[in-house]
Amino acid sequence: MIKVGILGGAGYTGGELLRLLLQHPHVQIQSLVSSTQAGRAASFIHRDLIGDIELRFTEQLDPTVELVFLCLGHGNSKKALDKIPKTAYIIDLSNDFRLCKNARSAERNFVYGLPELQIDVIKKAKNIANPGCFATAIELALLPLARAGCLKEDIHISALTGSTGAGRDLSETGHFSRRAHNASTYKLFTHQHLDEIRESLLSLQEGFSSELFFVPYRGNFTRGILATIYTRCELSLKEARLLYEDFYKTHPFTHLSEDPLELKQVVNTNKCLLHLTKEKGCLIVSSVLDNLLKGASGQAVQNFNLMYCYDEMTALYLKPLAF
């Protein structure tokens, strides 16, 4: 059994981790840390866990933990490193260590944790920088084209995300009265995930220099991401499908669909589904995933499984909502 700690366990990603790890046969949740909820029962915050867990939030990590999941706000993970035992492995869910220029901190070197991109590196890693939710959806839509050297034109992206992507803390744009029956754009062409997307594409297609025009949307629902990506491409639709099927044939969570996609196909799962069409010389790729699972906590558990040589799907056989 691996003794696990969660730093920042009161947020949405921390709650999802608890739900997954409670079902993991090789995990003992040793420590659950929250600076604001110390002393309270985990089920007081995550109320669906009443009867499932007796653990309480604490102010500090148990020193015996062997791996720590960091579920802190962006910019706070780096500050927390000195609170973690030097022998403990880390999986960080913030953006603090995702970029190559930020991957090394003190004595730790973080590996970008997208299994479909570098599974063999993850298996040998001690510190993982979990990818962003938008980044995961967009990278999985483009990586097969990058490996084939097919990204030669500008790439246009629009993506809709649920309110949980903004975190648990209340904000004006996350408030129910603002979000319900509404939609809005934000961070047009400047979203923070663009840098990690570009680095991942460059790792497969040297010299990639196309523009990434990204328009993110806030949706009036709680969880999920629906992304549409298009770029001019010389491949036929049949050739593109064969390319994607070959790229993902050994990856259990990313699949190609022959039919158009809906969010409910992936919400509450660790899957990313992709759909391809070809129109007016452009290859159009649709991508859907659950931002809290494949876009965050589910992918973190997937990386945990790879680091410890467990079956990649352990604790991730999840049922979609369907309707």
Query: Looking at the annotation, which residues are catalytic?
Result: 133
| Closest to 146 in 3D by CA, of 260, 46, 229, 35 | 229
Burial bucket for residue 106 (CB in 10 Å: 0-12, 13-18, 19+)? exposed
| Cα(133)–Cα(290) distance, integer angstroms | 8
| Cα(244)–Cα(225) distance, integer angstroms | 20
Q: Provide CB contacts within 8 A for 133, sequence distance 6+.
A: 161, 165, 193, 225, 289, 291, 292, 295, 296
Residue 321 has which token pair?
A: 């909502």
CA angle in degrees (0–180, nearest 5) for 247-297-226:
60
Q: Provide CB contacts within 8 A for 213, sequence distance 6+.
A: 154, 155, 156, 157, 189
| Cα(164)–Cα(254) distance, integer angstroms | 22
Residue 294, classed as helix, strand or coil, is: coil
Amino acid at 191: H
Residue 100 has which token pair?
A: 């190559």
Cα–chain-centroid distance for residue 125? Answer: 18
| Cα(8)–Cα(3) distance, integer angstroms | 17
| Cα(201)–Cα(209) distance, integer angstroms | 10
Query: Which residue carries 């007081």 as its tokens?
Result: 44
